[in-house]
Amino acid sequence: MRVLGIETSCDETGVALYDSEQGLLGHELYSQVALHAQYGGVVPELASRDHVRKIIPLLTTLLAKTATRPQQIAGVAYTAGPGLIGALLVGASVGRSIAWTWGVPAIGVHHLEGHLLAPLLETPAPTFPFLALLVSGGHTQLVAVRGMGEYQLLGESVDDAAGEAFDKTAKLLGLGYPGGAALAHLAEQGHPNVFHFSRPMTNRPGLAFSFSGLKTHVLTAWKSQENPSEQTRADIARAFEDAVVDTLVIKCRRALKETRLQRLVVAGGVGANKQLRHQLQVLGQELNVKVFYPRIEFCTDNGAMIALAGCLRLQAGQQSPLNFNAHPRWLMTQIDATYSQLKSP
């Protein structure tokens, strides 16, 4: 089964073709970073308009590069949520329209499910069940994944997610947009143990996260320096990154011991962080747990993960109706309830 995937939940336009037998055939991605950089963050209206401009040219390029004809495509998958409502509606309307025109089923995919399943695009791919650390944009979650659609939320952030904390802290330090990647790069030049920030919520039981307080610690440390040098900025960035990474690793250790799962999947944009990958690899060796990641280009939003998730859903006999919906807020715990209402082809 060959499925076209469309991702437009925020500021990246992604399209991809996934074949159930041949795997990923190709993907195209356009990032709007340059468009939003002057505003210091994503402007929803501009994001939506840019998706409109880019999506059809990207689809045309994808079909040409993969030598795929519409008759070869058996289904269309698009991100239905969560995300920016205007951006979601661009992908949903285009995806559903294409499916209707080509006479094939369409399926609205949960954005986070796409991230959870992204490591299945790799070789070797993890098998169910596994523990997933999902650190994508505004989400930091630990999820026990027993199978397709069988997700148990074990813990999540009660305030800022890790990605948000990276971006906001970068702004406090005067770094550019997007700040998370800039801060991680700066942290590589920092010296360890010059500054020390708390590992929030690790001194109590549970698997919940909280990163908002770290921003305050960073701001206090930065303002306490009379004439801070670039090295001081790097040292603070290093201390912040160490605090976030340590916190994530501590909670993963707890979750693995509680669930006794032998596989750990790391997905989402923060999953590209070098320090996090290293520390989780060390944890995996210590606990005899296999750790899986998507390739770096599939850590951030992309069409490949949507095409894969959509293919699995369509193969299970699910499809979205013609009166499609977009869900700017769509909890992981609501996935099964939403899909159970969908009719079979």
State yes or no: 135 annotated in a binding site: yes
Rounded distance between C-alpha atoms, residue 239 and residue 245, angstroms: 10
State yes or no: 180 annotated in a binding site: yes
Report DSSP state, residue 126. Answer: P
Residue 207 in contact with residue 214, Cβ under 8 Å? no
State yes or no: 93 annotated in a binding site: no
Closest CA to 268 of 9, 2, 42: 9
**Tokens of residue 239, six digits:** 């201390």
State yes or no: 273 annotated in a binding site: yes
State yes or no: 111 annotated in a binding site: yes
Angular region, 320: left φ>0, alpha ψ -120 to 50, beta rest: beta
State yes or no: 160 annotated in a binding site: no
Residues forming a β-bridge with 140: 135
What is the largest distance, in Å, between two alpha-carbon atoms of the chain?
67
State yes or no: 229 annotated in a binding site: no
Rounded distance between C-alpha atoms, residue 6 and residue 113, angstroms: 14
- 36-44: which pairs have CB atoms within 8 A and are 24 or more residues apart? 36/11, 36/177, 37/176, 37/177, 39/177, 40/171, 40/177, 41/177, 42/10, 42/11, 42/84, 44/84, 44/85, 44/86, 44/87
Rounded distance between C-alpha atoms, residue 294 and residue 176, angstroms: 26
State yes or no: 136 annotated in a binding site: yes
Residues forming a β-bridge with 266: 133
The binding site for Fe cation consists of 111, 115, 301
The binding site consists of 111, 115, 134-138, 167, 180, 273, 301
The binding site for substrate consists of 134-138, 167, 180, 273
